[in-house]
Amino acid sequence: MILTADPNIRFENLGLAALNRKSAYLVQCELPCYMTGKTPLPKDVIPPKDVTCLDTKIFLDIPDVTIDGKKYSEIDFKTQGKDLTPAGYALATFTAGGDNTAESLGTANKLYTAVNAALRDRGNRSILHQLKVVDFFIGSQIAATQGPEGKKKQIRNLNKTIKNCGHCTAEERQKFQDMLTKAEAL
């Protein structure tokens, strides 16, 4: 968002020109359908623009989101991971390899990032900490599919997974730690 009342500033590169000395210009980008714009997001949370909304809700006022024929509600740790912690669901569902290709993990990542952004946008922290465990883990697994080139991102995301793993079991925490140790050795 750009706001200026300075008559000497011209937005020629945006196709805007000053009309009079007292005018103020507001340039705003269109928000994704799942965002309200109520709360600024951290710079590392970038809402995916290609994720679209459905008519159903997943959390209070947050719509279910979809991309590439996949819906968030189909991979939601709260409804699909019965009897599992968020970390347990992440490990069971999104560990790289087998059916979890870079493409399928990328789709899951976009859906989780969209919901992460929507929760932050609405100030809903109660579910956010649980969701971040899954979101960061998916990011680490995407990086794992990139081999040595993804090492730095994998380590960063595994560290963030562990940091947010407040309700992890000792076994889950150890699995994340083992993955981190292996990534650091690459």
Domain regions of the chain by residue span: 1-30, 52-184
User: For residues 7-29, b (16+ Cβ closer than 10 Å) or e, as one string?
Assistant: eeeeeeeeeeeeeeeeeebeeee
Cα distances from 125 to residues 161, 163, 173, in angstroms, run 16, 16, 22
The answer, yes or no, to whether residue 143 has pLDDT greater than 90, is yes
Cα distances from 30 to residues 18, 51, 141, 144, in angstroms, run 22, 14, 31, 33
Q: What residues contact residue 77 under an 8 Å CB cut-off, 6+ apart?
A: 84, 86, 89, 90, 93, 130, 131, 134
Q: CB count, 10 Å around CB of 146? A: 13
Asked whether the beta carbons of 172 and 87 are under 8 A apart, the reply is yes
- Confidence tier at 175 by pLDDT (50, 70, 90): very high
Give 8-58 pLDDT, tens digit per residue.
333 333 333 334 444 444 445 689 999 999 999 999 999 999 999 999 999
Task: Give residue 34's pLDDT.
Answer: 97
Task: Give residue 29's pLDDT.
Answer: 67
Output the pTM of the full model: 0.82
Task: Give residue 72's pLDDT.
Answer: 98
Q: What residues contact residue 101 under an 8 Å CB cut-off, 6+ apart?
A: 145
What is the C-alpha to C-alpha distance for residues 88 and 175, in angstroms, rounded to an integer? 10
Sheet holding 70-71, edge to edge: 52-59, 62-67, 70-71
